[in-house]
Amino acid sequence: METLSVDLNRETGLRLLSRMVLIRRFEEKSAEMYTKEKIRGFLHLYVGEEATAVGVIDCLSNEDPIFSTYREHAHALVRGVDSSKIMAEMFGKQEGCCKGRGGSMHLFDVEKFFYGGNAIVAGHLPLSVGMALALKKQKKSNVVTCFFGEGAMAEGEFHEAMNLAALWQVPILMVCENNLYAMGTAVKLSHANLDFVQNGLSYGIESVFVDGMDVWAVKQATQKALDYMKTFGKPYFLITNTYRFRAHSMFDAELYRAKSEVADWKKKDPITHFKNHLIEHKIISEVDFQNIEIDVGNEIQQAVDYAENGTLETISDLEKFIYSE
């Protein structure tokens, strides 16, 4: 963000910053609720990666479908899925966005065009290509965005999806959130070629890297990708180089990376850097940031209260929704 763009005005700056803060505080509260055993099962947090979700989704229309991984709280929040319904879902309450049956890894909201939350690594990539093909056949102008980690790029579904996306020329933005460790294996130990751009170019898909710790850079790269897609009617591959500050999941002993490395990456905190940039250029003030923290804190407390007061499903209803009627 060395060069200040005239497009980065107060309204945009506050919007991007507040969404990143919402993600961070929501994830921190989720971890707290997990330690209190209010949230059970698996929990994968997005702390440190906020710039990618916010930068990408801010460029999309509300009717552009989004597919995501099991680390999807952030994507759901930015898309506009109600934070109270997300928290209730993780509490296993019927008031959750999936009636408490999906939990942390399976958030879904068809009204928000948010299609998961998928627990199978790379399993949603073919689904997203299918959705993009449907949009093309329906002659709609919307684009599908599919988020996945670099771990998914080692799966066969990634190559199948990229091949079909290129073959059918469907409107899909493939976004790889490269956080360097997948579930717990360093990327250099799992990928023979670390130049991931080549993975897209090999299928004839326009592909670029972007600094995933810089929300403004991600937003600009995403807008460029969307402009390209709408001009040429082709898919696009965006790789955001980012880093998760927390372990893969709450069960992860995190023995595969040095604490000093994590500390070094925290110096690149996307929220701190963007906030400082906005204040330095007098786009916002420190008071504005404090107000964001207050508003976000109130929203998250409301979400927790909503989840706490929600209702568990009765035993007599456990057989519902197992088979389609």
- The pLDDT tens digits of the residues spanning 146-203 come to 999 999 999 999 999 999 999 999 999 999 999 999 999 999 999 999 999 999 999 9
- Give the per-residue pLDDT at 316: 87
Query: Residue 309: which pLDDT band, with cuts at 50, 70 and 90?
Result: very high
Region 131-147: what's the mean pLDDT? 97
- Sheet containing strand 236-241, edge to edge, reads 66-67, 144-149, 172-178, 236-241, 206-211
| pLDDT for 325 beyond 70 | no
Report the alpha-carbon distance of residue 295 to residue 299 in Å, rounded. Answer: 6
Residue 320: other Cβ atoms inside 10 A: 12
CB 73 within 8 A of CB 46: yes
What does the pLDDT look like over 80-121, one tens digit per residue?
999 999 999 999 999 999 999 999 999 999 999 999 899 999
What does the pLDDT look like over 200-245, one tens digit per residue?
999 999 999 999 999 999 999 999 999 999 999 999 999 999 999 9
Average pLDDT, the chain: 95
Kind of pairing, strands 172-178 and 66-67? unpaired
Can you give the residue ranges of every domain in the chain? 10-305
What does the pLDDT look like over 252-303, one tens digit per residue?
999 999 999 999 999 999 999 999 999 999 999 999 999 999 999 999 999 9
Provide the CATH number for the domain formed by 10-305 in this structure: 3.40.50.970
| pLDDT for 2 beyond 60 | no
Report the alpha-carbon distance of residue 276 to residue 319 in Å, rounded. Answer: 52
- Give the per-residue pLDDT at 200: 97
- Give the per-residue pLDDT at 286: 97
Query: Residue 6: which pLDDT band, with cuts at 50, 70 and 90?
Result: low
Region 8-29: what's the mean pLDDT? 97
| pLDDT for 318 beyond 90 | no
Region 117-140: what's the mean pLDDT? 96
Report the alpha-carbon distance of residue 288 to residue 270 in Å, rounded. Answer: 17
- From the list 94, 93, 43, 99, the residue with the least C-alpha distance to 73 is 43
CB 230 within 8 A of CB 141: yes
Query: Residue 7: which pLDDT band, with cuts at 50, 70 and 90?
Result: confident
Percent of the chain at pLDDT above 70?
A: 98
Region 126-151: what's the mean pLDDT? 97
pTM reported for the whole predicted model: 0.95
Report the alpha-carbon distance of residue 74 to residue 80 in Å, rounded. Answer: 10
